[in-house]
Amino acid sequence: MAVNLTELSLPQLESLKTQLDQETEFLSSSIGKELLVPLTSSMYVPGKLHDVDHVLVDVGTGYFVEKNVEDGKEFFKRKIDFLTKQIEKIQPALQEKHAMKQAVVEVMNMKLQQLHSQQASQSGTTKA
């Protein structure tokens, strides 16, 4: 199932960017070393790279592309740049929504205070 990046929330985009940063770091730091290979999101097994000149890059929807290490780094750099631009586009909308939410909360609080004041004044007149 493909997801349009513009439909993701800012925290989701930041999480994806963090994941891509980690994958890029993983590619560059583990060449020729023993490493943990992810089988699932929470299960890893020990492994060792035999071909240190090529990597498999997950390009989405279950497809992997074999690339040399430099091309793999460039792929993730482009992906990070794209996500950064998407975050920059979304940031103003997020700030606007946050300001609108604050305004709604303030109006709600004001109305609740008015309601409490009315109830207090009504209970004061009924006791007298």
Sign of CA dihedral 15, 28, 58, 42: negative
Residue for token pair 């994958």 = 23
All structural domains of the chain: 9-127 (1.10.287.370)
Query: Which residues lie below 8 Å from residue 23, measured CB to CB, with a gap of 6+?
Result: 76
Please give the Cα distance from 93 to 105 (Å, whole number). Answer: 18
Q: What is the value of pTM for the model shown?
A: 0.47
* Structure confidence at residue 98 (pLDDT): 84
pLDDT in tens, the chain (128 residues): 556 777 878 888 888 888 888 877 776 665 566 778 888 888 989 888 788 888 889 988 989 999 999 999 999 999 999 999 988 888 888 888 888 898 998 999 999 899 899 988 888 766 55
CA angle 52, 55, 59 (to 5 degrees): 170
- In the chain, the amino acid numbered 9 is S
Contact 37, 44 (CB under 8 A): yes
